[in-house]
Amino acid sequence: MRAWLPEREVHGPERATEPDIEGLNRVFADAFTDRYRRDGLVGVRVPHLNPLVWRYALLDAGEGAMVWRDESDHVAAFNIAHRSGTEGWMGPLAVRPDRQGAGAGKTVVQTAADWLIAQGVTTLGLETMPRTVDNIGFYSRLGFVPGYLTVTMTRDLSGRGHGSPTLLSTRRAAAGDESLAAAQRLVDSLASGYDFTREIQLTAELGLGDTVLVEGREGAELDAFVLWHAVPLAEGRPRDELRVLKLAARDSGAFEAALTATEAAAARALPDRLRGRLPPTHHPRVSRAVDRSADDGRGLPGAPARRSGGGCGGAVFELGNLTA
Ligand SMILES: CC(C)(COP(=O)(O)OP(=O)(O)OC[C@H]1O[C@@H](n2cnc3c(N)ncnc32)[C@H](O)[C@@H]1OP(=O)(O)O)[C@@H](O)C(=O)NCCC(=O)NCCS
């Protein structure tokens, strides 16, 4: 006689669409809360993501937004695979805790990796938490190798003394198209094959943020641009930070100019009542992710010469050079 075992199978992938957002959010919050608990962070309850942020992720990913379901057609696992030109990126991804440990995680990573490779990406990465040794082992067994440590920097802003940033949203139709093309030419000149056009357009269409433009010193071309979002990442939270998603700058002078203009944009995009009147931790902040090798914190404002492990930040994993 066989003992009764709960159903462990999941079926998919199907393309995840907007009606799935609630189910995706539930699996996201449950899987990451469980992950934190197993990492010893027992009191952490991971909130649902803002549905607008999911909408952006699903539209950006297109066919790469993949969902697996259980026998009742509830979301059991998902992986959102994005492509920015020749760069492929996975995440968020998760398996519902009651379906973990039965091969679903391996399937969702491999299926999305195969799809991205079929789309012609030449690099493929994902980001995981450096403290989560299980995940590092899990990805390593699937052929990923550790890449960079991503340090997320935040800075409180003062509400005064900012200039007027040049924003893509203030450009009229034809000038806007020309700025978008100039942004892509800048990216091409710096990192051939990358393309952030879709992310920039989708951000504008959904009203999640904007793109700061730094005009070229010679006139015609752009020296830098910064794509940012100001909608809260977590559902039901107030708008109190600006997140930089993509930044391209011709040189270090352009990089500084881009950050100054982004701070000015943050001062405008975030509500007055959150500026200067609340305790410092509630001030508007600029978050930025800076990719460096794991032991290189040099030159980052306020960073130690070498960064020790733990704390915030993520470890980037790459599937190696796919063109080799
Ligand atoms: C990471 C995650 C997706 C893995 O999903 P999963 O369904 O448990 O993974 P699988 O069952 O496919 O495991 C694949 C392999 O990893 C191994 N593995 C999985 N979890 C493991 C663990 N905790 N310790 C050791 N090995 C583990 C399995 O034994 C299996 O090895 P095998 O192929 O030799 O049999 C899942 O744990 C999860 O959703 N975690 C919370 C959210 C999260 O961390 N997402 C990723 C953020 S980057």
Q: Residue 164's domain is classified under what CATH number? A: 3.40.630
Name the residue range of residue 216's domain: 154-306
Q: What is the pLDDT of residues 157-178, one digit of tens each?
A: 776 677 899 999 999 889 999 9
- Probe ligand 1: pick from 35, 106, 133, 139, max atoms within 8 Å of CB? 106
DSSP letters of 195-263? --HHHHHHHHHHTSEEEEEEE-TTSSSEEEEEEEE-S-SBTT----EEEEEEEEESSHHHHHHHHHHHH
Verify that 194 and 293 share a domain, yes or no. Answer: yes
Residues 297/304, Cβ–Cβ less than 8 Å: yes
Q: What is the pLDDT of residues 8-28, one digit of tens each?
A: 789 999 999 999 999 999 999
Residues 253/246, Cβ–Cβ less than 8 Å: no
Verify that 245 and 284 share a domain, yes or no. Answer: yes
* Residue of the CA atom closest to atom 35 of ligand 1: 103
- The first and second tokens of residue 64, run together, are 């790469």
Binding site membership of 137 for ligand 1 (Cβ less than 6 Å): yes
Asked if the structure places residue 130 within a domain, the reply is no
The residues, ordered by sequence, that sit 6+ positions from 172 with a Cβ below 8 Å of its Cβ are none
Q: Which atom of ligand 1 is nearest to the CA of 135?
A: 1
Verify that 120 and 162 share a domain, yes or no. Answer: no
Asked if the structure places residue 17 within a domain, the reply is yes
Q: Which of 124, 146, 162 is the last residue of a domain?
A: 124
Distance CA 210, CA 205 (A): 10
Asked if the structure places residue 322 within a domain, the reply is no
DSSP three-state, residue 66: strand
> From the CA of 122, how far away is ligand 1's center (Å)?
25
> From the CA of 152, how far away is ligand 1's center (Å)?
25
Verify that 24 and 99 share a domain, yes or no. Answer: yes
Verify that 107 and 176 share a domain, yes or no. Answer: no
Q: Which pLDDT score is estimated for 284?
A: 53
Q: Which pLDDT score is estimated for 142?
A: 95
Q: What total of structural domains would you count in the chain? A: 2
Verify that 224 and 286 share a domain, yes or no. Answer: yes
* Residue of the CA atom closest to atom 20 of ligand 1: 101
φ and ψ at residue 141, rounded to 5 degrees: -70, -20
The residues, ordered by sequence, that sit 6+ positions from 229 with a Cβ below 8 Å of its Cβ are 53, 56, 203, 208, 209, 242, 243, 245
Binding site membership of 103 for ligand 1 (Cβ less than 6 Å): yes
Verify that 180 and 106 share a domain, yes or no. Answer: no
Beta bridge partners, 254, equal none
- The first and second tokens of residue 81, run together, are 């695979």
Residues 200/211, Cβ–Cβ less than 8 Å: yes
- The first and second tokens of residue 69, run together, are 């379901």
Asked if the structure places residue 138 within a domain, the reply is no
Q: Which atom of ligand 1 is nearest to the CA of 99?
A: 7
Q: What is the pLDDT of residues 20-66, one digit of tens each?
A: 999 999 999 999 999 999 999 999 999 999 999 999 999 999 999 99
Q: Which atom of ligand 1 is nearest to the CA of 132?
A: 44
Q: Check whether 237 has a pLDDT greater than 80.
A: yes
Distance CA 151, CA 70 (A): 36
Binding site membership of 96 for ligand 1 (Cβ less than 6 Å): no
Q: Which pLDDT score is estimated for 130?
A: 83
φ and ψ at residue 50, rounded to 5 degrees: -55, 125
Verify that 106 and 179 share a domain, yes or no. Answer: no
Here the CATH number for the domain that contains residue 115 is: 3.40.630.30
